Chain A
Amino acid sequence: MTGNENPYLPELVTVMKVIDETPNIKSFQVVFNDTEKMKNFKFEPGQVGQLSVFGVGESTFVINSPPTRMDYLQFSVMKAGEVTTALHGIYEGDVIGVRAPLGNWFPYQDMKGKNILFVGGGIGLAPLRTLILYMLDNRADYKDITIIYGSRTPPDLCYKDDLKEWEERSDVNLILTVDNEFPGWEKRTGFVPTVLKEEAPKSDNTIAITCGPPIMIKFVLQGLAELKFPEENIITTLEARMKCGIGLCGRCNLGHKYICKDGPVFSLKQLKELPSDE
């Protein structure tokens, strides 16, 4: 819910900071122009927002800053289509629109006292980031935290400052990989699903959360099944073409569920119960 009577009416926000994450991904830190709205804004890790560039349109992005750090909301945008290209032309100080929070969130309350395994690829780290930071801000509530994250090349890794910090922390096990050998890269190489197989994390009392390109997710899900993760302990967050973000416009459905409203977070168990477009 947007807290607005009109769910289509965006809130105006000012872009405070633009971060070049990778050659084609930028992060935008925004604050509401209405300071009261900023103070009262609440969301849960995994919820998304619609960013508006007026005159171009809207697209859906996850809020990848955690609810424990409310100085700003952060969204990361890969330059791909019309709206994302327009967003890449936005400067600090520019005004854009946000409709948020939308959708459901990671069941982080149910994950307390468990080991957490994050498996991410490329910009798929964005939705995981909000939960990782939330968990690090409530570190005592969770047991071992393992993050397997990869991208095509080292420059394509998102959130390099976070990665550096997580690497240095003794209470986080971060495994980074890139697809192929790369000059100056001394860490692992290989696709994320392969690294997952090699690492073979234990499925006992462990929740796996994965996000990345569809093909990566497909093989990660297979890999987790081989590692005997029960389907209800495998969580993913989905993407689809969306317009309204409130379950009305009809395009992001999986059977009777709408990714924008009933999702984007689903367990593998839930997904298997829905009709597939395959």
Chain B
Amino acid sequence: MADKGYLPKEKIKEFVEALGKDAAVYAPCLEGDTIIFRQYTADKEISLDRPANTPPKGAIYPQCETLLSFEFKKDAATPQKMDVELKANTDFPKAVVFGGRPCDAKGFTVIDRVFVNTDTADPYYKKRRENTTIITKCCNSPYAGCFCVGVGGGPASREGSDVVMTEVDGGYYLEAVTEKGKAVMSLSMIQDGSSYEAKAKQANEKATGAVRNPFPADARISPELFDSGDFWGRVVDKCVSCGACTFLCPTCYCFNITDEQAITTGERIRSWDSCMFQHFTLETSGHNPRPAKYKRFRNRVGHKFSYYPEKYDGAIACTGCGRCIRYCPVSVDISEIVGYLKDPKADPKQWAADKKDAKN
């Protein structure tokens, strides 16, 4: 099987429909003026024009999913006894994530370290991940808020992808990164791509040079920088704890587990949760280790730029996709905050004052 190819733009629909023959294809679909990852059906319009508003995270890690179902059962012979029957969900159909960006694909690798590469792997995520092929579109130019190169990624990064596509001459140059990706290259609408390789390389280099890097040295934050509650208080003063940053993040994976029951049957459901919510850590006794907004925000930044790197050989749990910056209703900018913490000349206590001066 070839590991390089070319797909003309007008064949995209045909390509996606061919992928969809034996798999659910998740693609960025235009809905009004937003682009959302949805399971593709013929009535939907795919848009690769800009990064989608949502990451494709939900294709492998659904926002809500059934972990197991239970049924209360009675045996006529022992009417005083109620038995319970449990059944784990094992339905993980083949899937394709089409048209995500390198930051989106890398997001899955961040979750993999936690959910797959552990002695207590999450079987739901793991099996879906194994059954999913990721076809990623490289970025031609950075989008507002993007900073992938600052966190070890790039607009043409292959990390987490099975196939990467680069826009060239009215179509896409395709390159298989994995064996799973090579299988895709055998589809009939894929043409010979060898003449586009040099052009694609050039386009990727140009795009890489254009992305801003807010942390030129290293994005990792040392724990000592976490002490100033005063600094964090000022930073998140305007945060409304809405959780949009976490729900739109390709790497955020915190979840809740709840039971739903109707008469004698029910389900145990896992849903995305957000560390920005006050009740996330609230204990029944009323005790809450992170009752204040700044403590929750500090933990979120800490998890991505300090705790996660501490645990996973320096890897940053942020892919620089910029969504939390673009869609924050009060414009909290994580790259600005981490950048400020990284600048040794910066006095965190002065942060809010400096910001005010800059705006005036």
Contact = CB atoms under 8 A, between A and B. Distances in A.
A associates with B: yes
Interface of A: 1, 5-10, 12, 54-58, 80-81, 84, 93-95, 97, 214, 239-241, 243-244, 246-253, 255-256, 261, 275, 277
Interface string B92-119: 0000000000000000000000110011
B307 A253 contact: yes
A97 B70 CA distance: 11
Interface of B: 67-68, 70, 72, 80-84, 86, 88, 114-115, 118-123, 223, 226, 253-261, 266, 268, 270, 273, 275, 280-285, 287, 289-290, 295, 299, 302-303, 306-308, 310-311
Contact of A243 (B123, B255, B310, B311): B255
Given A248-B120, A275-B226, A8 B72 contact: no
B256 A256 contact: no
A246 B120 CA distance: 6
Contacts of B280: 241, 251
Nearest to B287: A214
A248 B290 CA distance: 18
Nearest to B252: A250
B257 A57 contact: yes
Nearest to B279: A241
B120 A1 contact: yes
A89 B164 CA distance: 56
B257 A249 contact: yes
- B interface, over-half SS: mixed
A261 B81 contact: no
A241 B282 contact: yes
Given A97-B84, A249-B254, A249-B273, A5 B123 contact: yes
A54 B311 contact: no
A255 B310 contact: yes
Nearest to A94: B82
Contacts of A8: 67-68, 88, 123, 257, 268, 270
A57 B88 CA distance: 16
Most buried by B among A6, A93, A246: A6
Contacts of B70: 54-55
Contacts of A94: 82
Nearest to A213: B285
A1 to B, nearest CB: 7
A277 B287 CA distance: 13
A7 B254 contact: no
A277 B268 contact: no
Contacts of B258: 57
B312 to A, nearest CB: 9
28 contacts: A7-B120, A7-B122, A8-B123, A10-B86, A12-B86, A54-B86, A54-B268, A55-B266, A56-B259, A57-B257, A80-B284, A80-B285, A94-B82, A95-B83, A241-B280, A246-B118, A247-B118, A248-B255, A250-B303, A251-B254, A251-B273, A255-B307, A255-B310, A256-B311, A275-B223, A275-B306, A275-B307, A277-B290
